[in-house]
Amino acid sequence: MHKAVAEGKEETAARLIQNGADTQQELHSGWTVLCTAAYFRSLGLVRLLLESNPLFSRPDGGLSPPDWAVRQNRVDMAKELLRHGATLGPQGIDHPALLFITASAGDKEMVQILQDAGSDVEEHFEGRNAIKAAEWNGDADILTLLSEYRGV
């Protein structure tokens, strides 16, 4: 299943699912089939898998499918995954705060998606939070959005 998904073979994946393939299958690294689809940027496969009750995220706290969508600036995929109940993975030293990354990039739509998903405006990365990143970049739109969310 992972091979078909990694190669973007939507028809093959659909046939595999129809014939009872395990959509909760994990690689030895802990990657789920849905993680593979998100990593390889295939919205069609993500949608196909979402219909078949996939395992959303890695059990070891690694990057989740929405994390990959956010990191690759796939707004459509992030929305779809979060709408179906997928959650963002834990942030920390190995996984910088996604809200910080998107605020730094000036991506207003993705900032809004992350805020709606419950991202912490105060979460720090390298001594700064998303608000500081927006201030640093002089991005008034992102700063306003973050401040309103924060209740400032």
Q: 33-44 pLDDT, tens per residue? A: 888 888 888 889
Do 112 and 57 share a structural domain? Answer: no
Question: Does any domain span residue 100?
Answer: yes
pLDDT at 60 over 70: no
Distance (Å, whole) CA 123 – CA 101: 11
Would you state the pLDDT for residue 25? 80
pLDDT band, residue 56 (cuts 50/70/90):
low
Question: Does any domain span residue 26?
Answer: yes
Do 1 and 47 share a structural domain? Answer: yes
Would you state the pLDDT for residue 59? 47
Do 107 and 136 share a structural domain? Answer: yes
Do 46 and 31 share a structural domain? Answer: yes
Distance (Å, whole) CA 99 – CA 129: 8
Do 42 and 57 share a structural domain? Answer: yes
DSSP state of 93: S
> What CATH code is carried by the domain that includes residue 127?
1.25.40.20
How large is the greatest C-alpha to C-alpha distance in the chain, in angstroms?
A: 53
pLDDT at 143 over 60: yes
